[in-house]
A and B are shown apart, each in its own frame.
Chain A
């Protein structure tokens, strides 16, 4: 008789270790795939895993196998038209069954070119932020705006009348009354029964009865003098306040879209925004993103237009800062929202405008912002804007200015921007 075993409850995921080994081994390729995905994904779309594709040749396990050519003879089923001696054109490419040997086709790179699979959201973020040590950042992030909330914190003996807790107050009054009168009541009962006895006994002296009556009266007075409620009994509901980090934040993405910004530069900026977004979502429950692009004029746009439309013309940075300030004033009051801004530019600006930017930042924007980061993506020498911002950096603690030359610089720069700040 066969032996039946139910293995369904055994641990599944016997292959988990092997899967991790695989990911570990191809980390380089997977990371490449992940960083390509960054460009493809929307800034705010970070909640799902990512499809990864690795070129099959990179992960193939080489074996000795036969190549194309030579003389082969293969038998196929389903003959519907051929006779012995028929000549057939050689099919181009991988004709049916003309692969190199049984079951080896995929190993020889004839099959799929890409090995596709999915990694989970966690794996994705982990790979994306691997160099960034995000967990550290979570604890040391920039200052947050603080809100207070009131919450019940038990009961106290002091408080305002409005907060009296009636049930508890009466309960303690009751207890106090019992405690203070119990002995006397017992005594009283004894005296009363004695008096009763004496009154029914003939020949009792009137003085003794009078004395007893007097005692009873005194006791009764004492009992009656215990107050029904005393300030000692009062219990008040206690309310306390605690700090609550504000859970809403707004992130302004400012970008120069003038002719001098090419798509590669924008893609770099986009990664930076994604990083910032991810970083902020770790801290804030409700995060809004406002995209402002500008050339000589600024405009609030949606994400797609932000990254993928090309404009020509000059550059006036202050237009974007102005617009940001207006939007902030109107929709995101500083006492309710944590305000973050990230500006990306190639450093071009109309030279006369740079001092205006500085002034705008110093007077209107920086005082209400948690953090303002400016990244300059360029290989050229810095221009006026950079110098103005640098000057601001000395004056304010919540502005950071960094220079990015190529994609690889983004992580280090981001890390630099959000490194632990001396509080």
Chain B
């Protein structure tokens, strides 16, 4: 183990009486630990939302799990399924429950599980209430995409709204709409463009929220009153939408001709959820790495100060080691790169580069080698997402420590080939490949709304642009059915390949015989 901040040890450890190390905890003990952790966090200038810590039972933790970590969720069968899965997994002992769940809100809510020891509670508080919390507050993605102060209110609104809809329009109708929205949830965010400034966005939201206004816009688009001929001619030439639209749910919300106002609001709710989770999807490694880095740094600092006992430290280190373990590719426990391990080691490495740079580091990271580590890690946390963070900070040392290697799987070749390993020739390539692995636009198929035949049969065409010839998975017809439910008219999906050739992938409803019935 490496202890940090040795310069504190001597003076403080002598006079200080360490805190009770349990293993049982009490609320007053939790508060004492929290105070100490808070002091250390302030020492490192961690800027976070106020904390709210809620102690819950294992069962409640499973509830929280099922609601994908939302403290308040609307009712939907898929959460029930998730709950059953969690419960089964937990009962069979296949998985332990997470020690903590933390909500990106202001105040930042962290859940502690009743049955943990005081050591674990302290770890979780340092991890969630200061690590994740400061990440939520300062990372640029969270700042641009989420509004921590209003999320709880919005969740309450969403839950009530959906409940009211169920009462008014029937559980089934609401469920169908939600199912369809969930199928397209990944396409409810603007991936390739930044959202507008928050203040402007809010202004616009308030304006657009009025259902009547929304509906009037839609009505305008679908006006069927005959226009004079010139106008008609003009219209036919105009493509709608002008440019391909990546945010399919937004497009539906604004333009679907047959949706009821309440359905539009539900589409909007799901879209907002997608947006809320979008930054989390893109910052897994950083977020977990940052939180792990801080629980490690804070608790070690407390140990050096003599605030916690040896026993506390041993228990902490054991569980910390488990969290940041990285099984090798051929281990039965291997399931991809552990974001905790990668993120934690990268932050530790950045600090090392700042404090004790080697010749190699000076060559690779001339800007940060020898700089103030706290400023540097904070800057890294604030201004990157996984993809850019890795391409910026993954050092040859980490590549060597992890023994990373890259496998190229080209389905036109019979064999896989090793494209790079942890050697001089491979560092750059591995860094690039690993970074791309976290690029959401490489993971999620690029599908956009290509055109709508507004003057004809109102059919909507999606276009899939494959990345590296990777085809679309088999469930796309099911998804089209959901889209068809929302849009109300024919949906087709086409693919454009590298040579620019357009192929029709599928259609909903599937083309029936020769008669193309349009029921308008």
Which chain A residues have a beta carbon within 8 Å of chain B's beta carbons?
1-8, 10, 12-15, 17-25, 59-80, 82-90, 96-98, 100-102, 104, 107-108, 115-118
Contact = CB atoms under 8 A, between A and B. Distances in A.
Given A4-B53, A65-B472, A115-B85, 7 more contacts: A60-B475, A61-B182, A72-B409, A75-B406, A75-B433, A78-B326, A87-B415
Interface stretch (B62-70, B98-106, B137-145, B299-307): B62-70
A64 B75 contact: no
B166 to A, nearest CB: 10
Given A63-B185, A84-B418, A79 B403 contact: yes
B179 A72 contact: no
A65 B473 contact: yes
A75 B469 contact: no
B227 to A, nearest CB: 36
Nearest to A8: B57
A134 B285 CA distance: 55
Contacts of B329: 76-79, 96-97
B473 A12 contact: no
B409 A2 contact: no
Given A3-B107, A22-B84, A73-B409, A66 B433 contact: no
Contacts of B433: 73-75
Contact of B407 (A2, A22, A76, A83): A76
Give the interface centre of A15, A59, A96 by most chain B CB atoms within 10 Å: A15
A238 B370 CA distance: 102
A7 B101 CA distance: 14
Contacts of A73: 406-409, 419, 433, 436
Nearest to A105: B335
Interface size class of B (residues with CB under 8 A): 35 or more
B81 A118 contact: no
B337 interface: yes
Given A74-B433, A79-B422, A100 B473 contact: yes
B414 A90 contact: yes
Given A8-B55, A17-B75, A87-B416, A96 B334 contact: yes
Contacts of B35: 1
Given A4-B30, A19-B84, A83 B54 contact: no
Contact of A66 (B327, B402, B445): B445
Given A17-B75, A78-B331, A102 B63 contact: no
Contacts of A85: 417-418
Interface string B23-61: 000010011001100100000000000111111110110
A83 B405 CA distance: 9
B419 A84 contact: yes
A230 B410 CA distance: 113
Given A78-B403, A79-B405, A25 B60 contact: no
Interface in B450-472: 466-472
B77 interface: yes
25 contacts: A2-B38, A2-B50, A7-B56, A15-B62, A19-B84, A22-B81, A62-B478, A64-B187, A64-B475, A67-B472, A67-B473, A69-B411, A70-B470, A71-B411, A72-B468, A75-B407, A84-B418, A85-B417, A97-B329, A97-B335, A108-B475, A116-B88, A117-B85, A117-B87, A118-B88
Contacts of A15: 62-63, 66-67, 79-80, 83
Q: List the 4 closest pairs (A to B, CB-CB), nearest first.
A: A78-B328, A70-B470, A22-B80, A18-B80
Given A8-B60, A22-B80, A72-B470, A64 B445 contact: yes
Interface in B412-432: 414-423, 425-426, 430
B386 to A, nearest CB: 11
A12 B444 CA distance: 36
Given A76-B404, A76-B405, A116-B88, A66 B443 contact: yes
Contact of A61 (B183, B335, B422): B183
A88 B55 contact: no
Interface of B: 27, 30-31, 34-35, 38, 50-57, 59-60, 62-63, 66-67, 75-81, 83-85, 87-88, 107, 111, 114, 125, 129, 171, 175, 179, 182-187, 326-331, 334-337, 402-411, 414-423, 425-426, 430, 433-434, 436-437, 443-445, 447, 466-476, 478-479, 482
B130 to A, nearest CB: 10
Nearest to A6: B55
A67 B464 CA distance: 13
Nearest to A104: B443
A83 B114 CA distance: 49
Contact of B77 (A4, A22, A65, A78): A22
B447 A96 contact: no
A37 B76 CA distance: 28
Given A22-B77, A76-B404, A84 B67 contact: no
B125 to A, nearest CB: 8
Contact of B337 (A62, A65, A77, A86): A77
Contacts of A14: 60, 63, 67
Given A61-B182, A64-B472, A77 B409 contact: no
Contacts of B410: 71-72
A1 B38 contact: yes
A241 to B, nearest CB: 51
Give the interface centre of A64, A85, A87, A102 by most chain B CB atoms within 10 Å: A64
Nearest to B61: A12
Contacts of B408: 71-73
Contacts of A13: 59, 63
Nearest to B52: A3
Contacts of B34: 1-2, 4
Nearest to B415: A87
A70 B411 contact: yes
B54 A5 contact: yes
Nearest to A90: B416
B84 A78 contact: no
B76 A18 contact: yes
Contacts of B447: 64
A97 B433 CA distance: 15
Contact of A75 (B30, B185, B328, B404): B404
A88 B434 contact: no
Give the interface centre of A1, A70, A72, A79 by most chain B CB atoms within 10 Å: A79
B415 A89 contact: yes
B473 A70 contact: no
A68 B404 CA distance: 23
A20 B77 CA distance: 8
Nearest to A20: B80
B205 to A, nearest CB: 26
Given A12-B63, A71-B469, A62 B482 contact: yes
A107 B327 CA distance: 24
A65 B437 CA distance: 15
B470 A71 contact: yes
Contact of B421 (A5, A79, A89, A117): A79
Contacts of A17: 75, 80
Contacts of A84: 418-421, 423, 425-426
B417 A2 contact: no
Contacts of B183: 61-63
Contacts of A21: 75-77, 80, 171, 175
A117 B76 CA distance: 18
A61 to B, nearest CB: 6
Contacts of B179: 61
A74 B406 CA distance: 6
B55 A18 contact: no
Given A19-B80, A20-B80, A62 B425 contact: no
